[in-house]
Amino acid sequence: MKKISLAALALAAISATLPAQAQSNVTVFGVIDLAARSVKNDATQNQLAASGLTTSRLGFRGTEDLGGGLKAHFWLEGGLDPDTGNANGQTWTRRSTIGLQGGFGEVRMGREKNTSGVTWEQLDPFSDTGMSAVGRLNQAFTATNASYSRSSNMVSYYSPDMGGITGVFNVAASEGALGNKHIGGRLAYNAGPLFAVVSYATTESSPTIDIKRTTFGGTYDMKVAKFFGMYSKTDAGPADQKNWLLGVSVPVGATLLRASYHKMDGGGSINNREARQFSLGGQYNLSRRTAVYATYSDISNTNTAFTVATGSALTTGRDSSGYEVGLRHSF
């Protein structure tokens, strides 16, 4: 017994001098969101459509604690079309990143939302999703821009929180494809009821044209209502456009009401193009993970052909509108 006890003590002493075993975890997560929808473009089309409130997705994410405040992590996330059962192949085009996080901040590599995409999403009461998404009036000019909201082949740096101030810097390689080369950055302040942000990004659209987008705005949460405001200017060679958005969300018990007004004005070579979007929505939370919702959106086009959703073709200058009632469950 003494020999066994001495051996156990020796092993304990040796293990105490070795690095602690890294702790890791992996999480499976996702969203299923489906809605009965009616879209009126040139013709009316009734649909069962995905992602009216939250984009349907399937993902895996995990972290490993390396000790000393350093963590390694990965994130794989792909879109789903639950109305057809199509899992898009399954690719991970929503996000596929690996990175390190510590006191210095965070470094990520792979494909994910860039600074412009995140900023437009945060300044929209509908989170740039569904019929009412701010991105519905994204681009009135013709130019290659694969990096509107997400970029591939990207390296990103996220600063630590410095008294409510955070910064992000993205750089993405073109790898021989126009529309992919992207550089962006943003600075945000988030403390108390106020969130304010400014972002800038440039994307190589052609050998002679870079798309340059500057966005700023903020939100103010008064608890009884949260207000949203955004201004964004995009330059693309001879064309430019301005996007303005005002929005509000109002919590009423388990219900969240939303409204937004969004205007796009063309300039330069597209100075005769404009569009206006008005949206209303309501969400009732049955639980922390399950919600029912209803949304209405209308787009008025002037020499443009923006639509609230995919449906029938739309003649340039005609309006698009639609409504939906849906169910969202996250896991």
Per-residue tokens: 32: 């299923």
Helix (H) or strand (E) segment spanning residue 28: strand 23-40
Cα 280 to the center of its chain, rounded Å: 20
Q: Which has the minimum average pLDDT: 19-28, 150-159, 251-260, 320-329?
A: 19-28
Per-residue tokens: 266: 């063309």
- Res 89: pLDDT: 66
136-162 pLDDT per residue, tens:
999 999 999 999 899 999 999 999 999
Helix (H) or strand (E) segment spanning residue 7: helix 2-16
Burial 12-45 (b: 16+ CB within 10 A, else e): eeeeeeeeeeeeeeeeeebbbbbbebbbbbeeeb
| pLDDT band per the 50, 70, 90 thresholds, residue 90 | confident
Asked if the model's pLDDT at residue 267 lies above 50, the reply is yes
| pLDDT band per the 50, 70, 90 thresholds, residue 48 | very high
Q: What is the pTM of this model?
A: 0.90
The closest alpha carbon to 25, from 59, 57, 60, belongs to: 60
281-308 pLDDT per residue, tens:
999 999 999 999 999 999 999 999 999 9
Cα 122 to the center of its chain, rounded Å: 8
- Fold of domain 25-330: Porin (2.40.160)
Burial 276-289 (b: 16+ CB within 10 A, else e): bbbbebbbebeeee
